[in-house]
Structure 1
Amino acid sequence: MTAVHILNSPNTENAGPASPAGPGRRVLIATDTYPPDVNGAAYFTHRLAAGLAERGDDVHVVCASDTGPPRGDSADGVTVHRLRSAPLLVHPTMRVSVPAGLGRTMSRLIERVRPDVVHIQGHFVVGRAAVGAARRAGLPVVATNHFMPDNLFQFAHVPAGLRDRVGRMAWRDFTRVFSRADRVTTPTRIAAGLLSAKGFTGEVEAVSCGIDLHRFQPRPWDRSRAFERFGLPDLPTILFVGRLDEEKCLDDLVLALSQVLNRVDAQVVLAGTGGRRAALERLAARTGVGERVRFLGFVADADLPLVYAAADVFAMPGTAELQSIATLEAMASGLPVVAADAMALPHLVDGNGRLYAPGDVRAMARHLTAILTDPGLRAAMGRASLALAAPHDHRRSLARFEEIYAELATRSVKA
């Protein structure tokens, strides 16, 4: 197997927050998912675009229209070019850009915008077209990966027996697109190693997605207000934030709660939407914990800090996390973490919580119970979470991406 060259940027690991860069550049960010889509890649791309604009860059985003017809808009200092789209048949809420004529459309957009660099956020329809158009225009391309086939299996209804084969095909397609980029990044070293294991042979730099450490911080004074705001009883609280979908393995959390309740009168709070909600509600009722599993549904980004203020411990049972922004936000909020020992999650747990083997419900329940019943342990883990979250200040990530753009501007790019 060819080893990938994993580069760890000092800007995202060790350096302090950077000041805004000098003269701004014009950046075109191409993405298949962008708000109002609700997922980690969409949120990251919005934070990247808005953060670069705040630092003085001229930022354009090209993405699928959220309504169907093409249109343009502007928000947070970012110019957004929304492409004609159609419903994505395998996903209940997302839309996909119409591929017909997209290459010509992307070339015209690049000719009109005249970006200094194109930064793609995936290898699907929009990212693929943007790479081709940028190559034809002789522009440098940065590519950031948020993809794992596991995130698509549920929606595409891929049978378990075919998932390995479909996954290999998906990774080959990914490699064909990303090998055309001048620089490739992904959020963590573990995620970079995954690309090597799946056949990508180029250099990959680990650049954290970053979080806003001013917004996410311990807020014990808001605990009572959080319970009132979300209609929750004042009980020891295990929190999950994210999509309620298959790869998040939330059945394990519901089953673990039934064991936790033998020692602690606790509750599980699930903040997010997804295709597994009805099944989770049925499982909670069947196992006798229906009154202790609270579904908040969609929570606006502005309210997320308050959600974390309601919690005593954060649970992340997902097995397909390339970084897990929600876990980082919980850590920055001072919460201990109980997480599956899978993908990038071990990178986030070091003295601030506990890992368990995916699917080991008994171990998960044991760790949750230990944390909920020991205030001293909970406080110590919370302090460790704060220390581990500190290097992930989103300003460091923004500064590193600006450095990458500047480095490419001084080099010849691929034909």
Structure 2
Amino acid sequence: MPLTEETPGSPAPAIEDQEPGHFPTRVCLLIGQLGLGGAEKQLVLLARGLSARGIRTHLLVLFEKGPREEELQGSGVRVVELGFRPRQDGWKSYAVNLRALARLVVFLRKERPQVLQAFLFSAYVLAAPAACLARVPVLVAGRRSLGFFKKGNRLALAVERVATRWTDFLVANATAIADEVRRDEGVPAAKISVIPNGMRRSEFEPAVPADVVTSLPVVLCVANFGAHKGHRYLLKACSALRSSGHPCTLVLIGDGPERAPLRQMADRLGIDVRFLGARTDVACFLARADAVVLPSLYEGSSNAVMEAMAAGRPVVATAVGGTPELLEGRGVLVPPADAAGLAEGLRQVLHDPDAAAALGRKAREWAMANLTDDVMVERYMTLYRQLLEGRRTR
């Protein structure tokens, strides 16, 4: 598969020709694909923000593009598809992926970025050898989730450790993630920092409420249907609320392998659950919701929680990963895998609308001060400058 690029650019000037104070002038961002996940959203926000600040920005995609590519239209960001194949395609994928890795190295040598930043596991383990071979001055790896998916996988852990040694700096989007990396991988504190996720200013603007026909309070959960998202405990919690005389309408936005079993469970419990699938109009449902809930068993830094905060909705969520950093004093935190605790948290919010509204206002004010895309991009810019200046003074 040939390397493809939108809006090809002119050859980049040599690094030595740039004024130190103007760093960075060229940045490449690397990820597996451009789906609707939270990491992809943050990557697109960063790419747009860098380009808006006059930085020549390429977004490199390992496997395929995706729906978030539309969000880059008119931004000046150049999207490059590298042509890697997932490993499940068999032995043929190894030869294809070696050629794709060679294309990545050739592209980096031609473009000569001062910074290459990789998002998610596949991207940062491939970025490490490519950056070394292409002599990219600074390689940054993003850590955006807790490491449950690597537990017991010796090969993945070994590859990650080697990649980390070849990486200049790590960025986590929550203190809980940074702490785990330092503790479990022995990464020095000086090699990792925290830059929280960001949101577009438009996400703070009022939306037209969605039409959800019900006479009951509406509880919204935005999360794909994987076992670790804890939907089963949420359904049990809604059943407990119904039994105690506090029924609600549960609206679920997302998709995944657990959808069919969850639908069967909801029918068996006799609760009002609306399965809406994956959607891009989440803001309208946030505007309609009386409460937002996230019952995850583990979590990194949740974009769904952040979006609810921006909309001023009261949030009930499990105290896992980076969620307490977002909601401490600004939401209701409950233990994970605890249907009774989740039901009580929802009951508190739904029973006292005035207190719930106050929580929502407090969360929104904090998010506006700390979680905008402008704040996030400026933090990355500062980090890039510090790393580049550090290389020049060695």
TM-score, with structure 1 as normaliser: 0.80
Please tell me whether the aligned partners of residues 64 and 97 of structure 1 are also in contact (alpha carbons under 8 angstroms): no
Quote the residue 1:264 is aligned against.
246
Give the residue type in structure 2 aligned to 1:265: P
User: Of 341, 356, 359, which residue of structure 2 is paired with 1:381?
Assistant: 359
Q: Deviations over 1:340-385 (max 9, x none)?
A: 1211111122232221211110111011012111111111111221
Quote the residue 2:261 is aligned against.
279
How many residues align? The count is 361
Please tell me whether the aligned partners of residues 216 and 305 of structure 1 are also in contact (alpha carbons under 8 angstroms): no
Quote the residue 1:233 is aligned against.
214
Quote the residue 1:296 is aligned against.
276
Please tell me whether the aligned partners of residues 297 and 337 of structure 2 are also in contact (alpha carbons under 8 angstroms): no
Quote the residue 1:54 is aligned against.
52
Quote the residue 2:376 is aligned against.
397
Deviation at 1:234, TM superposition (A): 5.0
User: Of 192, 196, 218, which residue of structure 2 is paired with 1:208?
Assistant: 196
Task: Note the 1:97-176 alignment, pairs <5 A.
Answer: 98-124=96-122, 126-139=123-136, 140-150=138-148, 152=149, 164-166=151-153, 170-176=156-162
Deviation at 1:87, TM superposition (A): 5.1
| Aligned equivalents of 2:347, 2:205: Cα separation in 1 | 24
Quote the residue 1:82 is aligned against.
81
Root mean square deviation, CA, Å = 2.8
Q: State the SS of the aligned residue for 1:31.
A: strand
Please tell me whether the aligned partners of residues 228 and 296 of structure 2 are also in contact (alpha carbons under 8 angstroms): yes
Q: State the SS of the aligned residue for 1:101.
A: helix
Task: Note the 1:62-73 alignment, pairs <5 A.
Answer: 62-66=60-64
Q: Deviations over 1:217-259 (max 9, x none)?
A: 455xx33xx12xxx54353111111211111011111111111
Q: State the SS of the aligned residue for 1:198.
A: helix
Q: Deviations over 1:248-296 (max 9, x none)?
A: 011111111111223323111111111111111011011111xx11111
Please tell me whether the aligned partners of residues 24 and 114 of structure 2 are also in contact (alpha carbons under 8 angstroms): no
Q: Deviations over 1:93-140 (max 9, x none)?
A: xx999522233211111122221211111332x433322222233321
Q: Which runs of 5+ in 1 are unaligned?
A: 1-20, 69-73, 153-162
Give the residue type in structure 1 aligned to 2:267: A
**CA distance 1:51–1:394, shift in 2 (3 Å):** same
User: Of 43, 46, 54, which residue of structure 2 is paired with 1:45?
Assistant: 43
| Aligned equivalents of 2:158, 2:119: Cα separation in 1 | 17
Please tell me whether the aligned partners of residues 249 and 317 of structure 1 are also in contact (alpha carbons under 8 angstroms): yes
Deviation at 1:172, TM superposition (A): 4.0
**CA distance 1:98–1:252, shift in 2 (3 Å):** farther
Quote the residue 1:159 is aligned against.
none
State whether structure 2 residue 197 is matched by structure 1 residue 195: no
Q: State the SS of the aligned residue for 1:100.
A: helix
| Aligned equivalents of 1:28, 1:190: Cα separation in 2 | 27
State whether structure 2 residue 226 is matched by structure 1 residue 245: yes
Determine which structure has greater relative contact order: mean sequence separation of CA pairs < 8 Å that are 6+ residues apart, divided by chain length: 1
Task: Note the 1:13-32 alignment, pairs <5 A.
Answer: 25-32=25-32
Please tell me whether the aligned partners of residues 259 and 365 of structure 1 are also in contact (alpha carbons under 8 angstroms): yes
Task: State, as a whole percentage, how many aligned pairs show the same letter.
Answer: 26
Q: Which runs of 5+ in 2 are unaligned?
A: 1-20, 67-71
| Aligned equivalents of 1:346, 1:178: Cα separation in 2 | 27
| Aligned equivalents of 2:223, 2:95: Cα separation in 1 | 25
Please tell me whether the aligned partners of residues 236 and 372 of structure 1 are also in contact (alpha carbons under 8 angstroms): yes
Please tell me whether the aligned partners of residues 30 and 62 of structure 2 are also in contact (alpha carbons under 8 angstroms): no
Please tell me whether the aligned partners of residues 196 and 371 of structure 2 are also in contact (alpha carbons under 8 angstroms): yes
